[in-house]
Amino acid sequence: MTMVRIRTAHGYLSAQPPLGGEPNGQATLQYRATVGAWEEFDIEGLEVVVEPPPESGGGTTPEGDWLGIPPAKNAEYVAAVKAHLEAQGANLSGPCGAFCISENVAYGLRGTGAGTFFKDSGNNCRERSTDIVAYKDLQYGCARIVDVLGDSGNLNTPMWGERSEEEDINRWMPAAYPAPSPGAAARTARDESSIAYRASKKR
């Protein structure tokens, strides 16, 4: 038996008993900011196996240095990712070239909660904004975005510009393993994230 807690953007899922303690009464689901007895669920038959992290010999952690570059939330990190991709001969021109950079930046920073940002119109690549890294702000139930490229698709000037606007939290997309090259087929998880976002807009 495994005890779990279910946390959403609104708080912890809380199962409230029927009024009056009636065994066959109607229970309700609510949200709570903190965890108590009603926010913990015992799932019988579920076993959680925790695997130890791989030995790194003093190197990186599982969330470690993607592309061999220590992750940092600054323009220097974006520049280092761009330089690495250029050294590998990646074509960084156009929307998908710019997204190749921002996608790799987001993946390298995934341990900090970084993701990409859904965008299905205008300047986008595979339904993602080409020059943005996004974070969830659970306190306010929104997404916060960071501009990581200036003149994306052309100069691709590295930057780290945190913006104050509150964006739709459902537009935050998990940082999927980057496609092998700009314009390549996206990972299935990325497509599923887009489908889930569209479904949420139809509710």
Query: What tens digit of pLDDT does each residue of 93-132 get?
Result: 999 999 999 999 999 999 999 999 999 999 999 999 999 9
**Count of helix runs (H) and strand runs (E) in the chain:** 3, 13
Let me know: does 100 contact 89? Beta carbons within 8 Å.
no
Helix H or strand E encompassing 107: helix 94-108
Measured CA to CA, the distance from residue 87 to residue 182 in angstroms comes to 15
Query: Per the structure block, which two tokens stand in for 18?
Result: 């029927």
pLDDT at 74 over 60: yes
Give residue 57's pLDDT: 35
* pLDDT tier for residue 10 given thresholds of 50, 70 and 90: confident
Per this entry, what is the length of the chain?
203
Residue range 52-72: mean pLDDT, rounded: 61
179: nearest Cα among 56, 73, 91: 91
Could you read off the pLDDT of 37-54 as tens digits, one per residue?
A: 777 777 777 765 544 444
Q: How many CB atoms lie within 10 A of CB 197?
A: 17
Which band of pLDDT confidence, cut at 50, 70 and 90, is reported for residue 86? very high
Predicted confidence at residue 1, as pLDDT, reads 57
* CA distance linking residue 14 with residue 17, whole number of Å: 10
Amino acid in position 35: V
pLDDT(134) > 70: yes
Alpha-carbon span 145 to 168, nearest angstrom: 10
Q: Is the pLDDT of residue 153 over 50?
A: yes
Per-residue pLDDT at 2? 65
- Distance separating alpha carbons of residues 41 and 35, to the nearest angstrom: 11
> Which helix H or strand E contains 148, and what residues bound it?
strand 142-150
Question: What Å distances lie between residue 96 and 108, 123, 150, 174, CA to CA?
Answer: 18, 9, 15, 18
For 144, 150, 164, 187, the CA distances from 137, given in Å and listed in that order, are: 6, 24, 11, 25
Any idea which residue has 């065994």 for tokens? Answer: 23
